[in-house]
Amino acid sequence: MRLSLKTKFTLAISLLVLAVVTLVSGLYLARLLRQTLRQSSDNANFVAQQVLDACNEAVQQAAERGDAPFSLGAADVRAYVREAFDDSATLNSLIESDIGISTTIYGISISDLNGVVLDSSDATERDKKIAMRPSLSTLVHAGLTEQLRELFGAPQTYEFSLPFQLTLKPNDTQPIGNIRVALSSALIRAQIAPELISAGYVALAFVLCSTLLAFVASSIILAPVSRISAQLDRISAGHFDSEPVVARSDELGAVSTKILGIGKQLRDVREIFSALRENLDQVMTGLEDGLLLFNPEGRAVLISPAAEKFIGGRPEELRGLRASEIFPEGHPLRAALNFEGDQLGPTEGKEVTLGGQGGPQRVGLSVQVIRERGTRMGTLVTLRDAESLERIGSQLQVSERLAALGRVTAGVAHEVKNPLNSMRLWLEVLKANMPIEPEPQQAVKMLDSEIDRLDRAVKTFLNFTRPVELNLEESDLRGLLDEVLDAARPSIAKAGLTLQAELPAEFPRALVDQQLIHQALSNLVLNACYFTEPGGRISVGLRRAGDYGAIEVSDTGKGISPEDQKKIFQLFFTTRPGGSGIGLANTFRFVQLHNGQIEFESELGRGTTFRILLPLARTAEAPVGAGRDFSQPFAAEKR
């Protein structure tokens, strides 16, 4: 259990006071015991001395009456003394009264040298031999521990004795016995108990009062610490004070001022970090590759959104886990990784096929160990969609071919245009001088028709290669799609198809050339009409994909064969009888001019889906690093 600083402070003061009280109580107890035992010893001495004087007086009175022992033998002398004691009323009354002088005196007896009682305050002890008891002086001079053990242990009787002597002849003193005063340890304990109880109550009250005072004092002293702790809590929660919470000139005030300065620095660092984090997240969002960065301990610290489609877990849930937890046993990517305990070893150029609802997915995998001066700083795992890379490469090849073809056709068209004009002029001269017979006229008419066809082809070349001047303006993509669909409805109805449009009520505006995008979308819708059997369906959708607007045109037609998919954007390539092969090439070109992207997926017998990505108005002129959200693959987004 964790104790607060106030509790520790109060407890420390209370324990210190308790120690002092215990020491003082011990000294008081030692003094009380010593005083009580000495007083008991003095009382016993006083009583014994009185009894001794009374004994001498009893013997003297017997001598004055003419009594004497029959002989100086021990038995006769003992009998003589016993008779003198019995005849002395003073002695007997004194023994009875001296019992009440002190509450610690247990009994008074007079015994001979053999310990046989001659007279006693307890009549039952007469003529009985009483064993010698521990001397009271040993208890008086014992240590405090010994005194406590004896007094508070089992009850025990101690004895104080004075020798009793008798003078029967001049210069002849004979020892008779001892005056024995018995003291009980229980009676001594009972005498000091009230004072000990009173002292205990005083000590307890003193400890309780000191604890209360310590609590009050700690509350007052540590109040600034509580405010400083609350200040730190606010800083950790992102709330920063403008003034110190402790306006004092002592150490706590200095600490509060320094914490305020640290909070301001932390706020600045936090703002910088937030900006960097936003930029990093924006960059990571625009990446199609899945990136996983592990620290030196092997825990994931950075995971790009695109990694979710490869590893099947949300980045915020995987952050902080070890590599062995992200890629457990049985994970399809586990076999391609080089595990060294909980760490990943370097791996290059491996490819793994992942299964999914959209079918097999080829994933390229590489692991790079980051080191600095020989020390491992982290590990970077890169996951790439191999099919997307091939598709992008294919689109680049198409762009390069179109650019090369544009340069060639521009030159060819220019060189062919002039001879065609000359041929047409001379053909007109020939017409004027030709005979009117049908056969020559038919030949001239055929030449004129072929020249017209060749002229149209040359103009098409020139129009395709001529630079397009974009008229960009903020446009409502939903309204633009409505116009395209309104224009295409007759064609859709004539083909016996149904139209399904999923357009949001509100959508951000995009910076586009409305005429070019209108033409590009019309090409896609009309192509869908031609290649879809009656009873089929054309679907048009609009949604947001990061900083881009995504327009999808889907049909349930016959689809595009795999060999034709690589050529559909090439100029003059067409599978439609009578088609020019210019529509999709122009669509591709118009989307590229808007810094957009066009993608498609097709399956024979099930249909084709084209998707156009156009930058939204607020990001159309964003600096490098701002990009669309590629965190979901095209197939997953379509579903």
Phi (first) and psi of residue 631, to 5 degrees: -70, -20
- CA triple 30-33-39, angle to 5 deg: 140
What pLDDT, on a 0 to 100 scale, did the predictor assign at position 376?
85
Chunked mean pLDDT (size 10), the chain, 639 residues:
74 86 87 88 89 87 81 80 84 82 85 86 85 87 86 88 79 82 88 86 87 84 78 77 71 79 81 77 72 86 81 81 83 80 81 70 84 85 75 66 64 67 75 73 75 68 64 89 90 90 90 88 89 91 89 91 81 70 81 88 90 78 35 36
Q: Which two tokens stand for residue 187?
A: 């009676």
pTM for the whole structure: 0.40
Instruction: Give the C-alpha separation, 552 to 550, whole Å.
Output: 6
User: By three-state DSSP, how is residue 598 classified?
Assistant: strand
Task: Please check whether residue 132 is in contact with residue 159, taking contact to mean a CB–CB distance below 8 angstroms.
Answer: yes
User: By three-state DSSP, how is residue 230 classified?
Assistant: helix
Nearest to 528 by CA among 489, 498, 556: 556
- 538 burial via Cβ count (<10 Å: 0-12, 13-18, 19+): buried
Instruction: Give the C-alpha separation, 568 to 395, whole Å.
Output: 10
Nearest to 61 by CA among 94, 92, 95, 88: 88
Give CA 605 to chain center in angstroms.
53
Phi (first) and psi of residue 149, to 5 degrees: -65, -40
What pLDDT, on a 0 to 100 scale, did the predictor assign at position 481?
92
Q: Evaluate the CA torsion angle 291, 295, 298, 302 in order and state its sign.
A: negative
Nearest to 628 by CA among 542, 548, 552, 551: 548
Dihedral in degrees, nearest 10, Cα atoms 103, 104, 110, 116: 130
Instruction: Give the C-alpha separation, 190 to 151, whole Å.
Output: 10
Q: Which domains does the chain have, with CATH numbers?
A: 5-204 (3.30.450.20), 283-385 (3.30.450.20), 389-465 (1.10.287.130), 473-638 (3.30.565.10)
Beta strands in 386-536 (DSSP E): 473-475, 498-502, 510-512
Instruction: Give the C-alpha separation, 475 to 459, whole Å.
Output: 31
What pLDDT, on a 0 to 100 scale, did the predictor assign at position 637?
39
Position of tokens 């033409």?
Answer: 519
Instruction: Give the C-alpha separation, 329 to 344, whole Å.
Output: 14
What pLDDT, on a 0 to 100 scale, did the predictor assign at position 632?
35
Give me Rg for the CA atoms of the chain: 59
The residues, ordered by sequence, that sit 6+ positions from 602 with a Cβ below 8 Å of its Cβ are 559, 560, 565, 608, 609
Task: Please check whether residue 122 is in contact with residue 108, taking contact to mean a CB–CB distance below 8 angstroms.
Answer: no
Nearest to 311 by CA among 286, 342, 337: 337
What pLDDT, on a 0 to 100 scale, did the predictor assign at position 415?
67
Instruction: Please enumerate, as own/partner, the contacts of 431-434 that have beta carbons within 8 Å and a separation of 24 or more.
Output: none
Position of tokens 């299964």?
Answer: 355
Instruction: Give the C-alpha separation, 26 to 189, whole Å.
Output: 16
160 DSSP β-pair partners: 181
40 DSSP β-pair partners: none
Give CA 531 to chain center in angstroms.
58
